Structure 1
């Protein structure tokens, strides 16, 4: 089996960070690079033997073996292209064989979507008491009613939740930071999670309590004995996958729920500009198809 320099991906990561790429982008591109290197090893190919067609084989492998969605395949292809540009820049290879290859077109067609009844079926799965169920319920509402992105979910801290007598607002962190007014169902789910979390936290040492500024913790172990300070993107993805599998939703992910949030916000009477602000969108085109779909409903 062909082996590769084990430090390649680490150097790629450092290069991306030096260019001020977002942490989520660094993580994603490095994961794509690792996947491609594993593909090369299974194919008994070295880096200097890679040709443009190799990326096409990798693309087909993702579609056939992994069942990847088209936009996911597109993103991985972009990640691999960036990796090979890095390899050429640091003279590991003479030049990238992929620079002249076109990037697959983005599939902007809407998913079949998630109906409100199916969403409520998801909520029913996490209706029992307990810190994990309360956490998952709050996350589902933030995704499906408020339209938060994965990176925003994992970056929220308790200080971002702003209480008042009549309404509850959330200061959403990140590049598209904004303050939004939460729906009543979202507020209730967050309050229930907060009460359960604070009850758990009171049993921890004062030193341990300082390790939990983030809103959404992570769990580790078969019986969830360990509570880690911060949820990861992978943990969020696995949580949705696990819940979706129980209902036969094979491709439940954050974007599915974000699409639901767009339609939900329109359905409660919000105008396009208000929806764009709420979800941190900058172009009307991002909700154009949802707006047309909603207006064409009987």
Structure 2
């Protein structure tokens, strides 16, 4: 913190600005300390949850949210400049999608966009030679991850946190764990269970995650070795990261010729809206998407009623 303050001072920032930045960072540190989260291990969804907390529980307006976003972005840039292994994940967040803002059609993926996205994932259009070599390993993995968000309402963090012990192929069941410690069981369609299993068996046996273990369900791919990543220090596969998923989705969106900015939140938003259109009650949707309260669903219903 002191080094960051010194850095800001060297850039000519006013003392009042530096104090404001440090206060915002201290507030952020305190929030994550409640969850025993180390700042160095935080991921995109953690900050999405933090921004949601600031808008829904603290009532911060968009001007204040923008300031906090800028502070965190500058802080991560500073950390990266001192340690290149620390990635700036703040630009990957969706803080503008907080509950203080009314939803619009831009917050959802249309049926045509959905069709184009799922189609391009299984194609080889506009891929480099290196990407083509890896494509057979990644098609099913990438598609089922997108489908989990679009058709089952998983958040990005819930998706990345899935482990082998959470899947039961025989019963078509998947247990999803939320940040709050709650869990819910979803039933996969036969089509999605087959797609998930097909991805699973494309992983070569020596580096394949083990059944009923804490190994990650979705494994990172090593493009240099053209196989899935195995971490020998932990004797387990390397989990796909949130940032890697976001990069993958951006590539697929670009290849499909869809609008820029489509992200995992659009997929989950679309799932929630679809359930409202189907006539499900608020309580049922709350359970389906693993929310503790129904407060954040209000704006979805307002959007639906205003159409």
Give the TM-score range, shorter chain.
Answer: 0.5 to 0.7
Q: TM-score, normalised by structure 2?
A: 0.59
The alignment status of 1:22 with 2:37, answered yes or no, reads yes
Give 1:173's aligned residue: 177
Matched, 1:158 2:164: yes
CA-to-aligned-CA distance 1:146-189 (integer Å, 9 cap, x gap) = 11111111110122123455xx33211232432233352xx523
* Higher relative contact order (Cα pairs below 8 Å, separated by 6+ residues): 2
- Cα root mean square deviation, aligned: 4.1
Q: 1:38 — aligned with what?
A: none
- Whole-Å separation in 2 of the counterparts to 1:135 and 1:150: 14
1:81 CA displacement: 9.8
Give unmatched runs, 5+ long, in structure 2.
8-24, 48-61, 77-95, 124-134, 230-237
**Where does the alignment leave 5 or more consecutive residues of structure 1 unmatched?**
33-68, 84-103
Structure 1 contact 218–230 (Cα < 8 Å) conserved: yes
Shift in CA distance, 72/192, structure 1 to aligned 2, threshold 3 Å:
farther
Aligned length: 225
Cα offset, 1:126, TM superposition = 1.5
Equivalent-residue separation in structure 1 for 2:74 and 2:115 (angstroms): 40
Distance change >3 Å, CA 158–CA 74, structure 1 → 2: farther
Residue equivalent to 2:228: 227
TM-score, normalised to structure 1's length? 0.61
What whole-Å deviation, never above 9, does each CA across 1:77-109 have from its counterpart, x for those lacking one? 4637999xxxxxxxxxxxxxxxxxxxx995522
User: Which shifted more, 69-78 or 130-139?
Assistant: 69-78
In structure 2, do the counterparts of structure 1 residues 252 and 108 end up closer, same or farther at CA, with 3 Å as the change threshold? same
Does structure 1 residue 195 correspond to structure 2 residue 188? no
Query: Deviation at 1:127?
Result: 2.4
Residue aligning to 2:113? 118
Cα distance change, pair 212–238 in 1 and its aligned pair in 2 (3 A)? farther
Residue-by-residue CA offset, 1:99-120 (whole Å, 9 max, x unaligned)? xxxxx99552224121122112
- Distance in 2 (CA, whole Å) between partners of 1:275 and 1:221 is 39
Distance 1:131 1:159 in 2: 22
Whole-angstrom CA distance in 2 between matches of 1:291 and 1:212: 37
CA distance in 1, matches of 2:64, 2:221: 29
Alignment partners' CA distance in 2, 1:71 and 1:146: 33
Of 65, 72, 76, the match for 2:69? 76
**Superposed, which structure 2 residues align to 1:202-281 within 5 Å?**
202=205, 204=206, 213-221=215-223, 225-228=226-229, 229-246=238-255, 247-281=257-291
Within 5 Å, which residues of 2 pair with 1:45-84? 73=66, 76-77=69-70, 79=72
Q: Does residue 134 of structure 1 match 2:140?
A: yes
Q: Tell me which structure has the larger Cα radius of gyration.
A: 1
- Once residues 252 and 200 of structure 2 are traced to their aligned partners in structure 1, the CA distance between those partners, rounded to angstroms, is 21
What SS is found at the alignment partner of 2:215?
coil
The aligned residue for residue 294 of structure 2 is 284
**CA displacement at 1:134 relative to structure 2:** 0.4
Residue 213 of structure 1, CA deviation: 1.8
Counterpart CA distance in 2 for 1:72 and 1:201 is: 45
The 3 A distance-change label for structure 1 pair 105 and 274 is closer
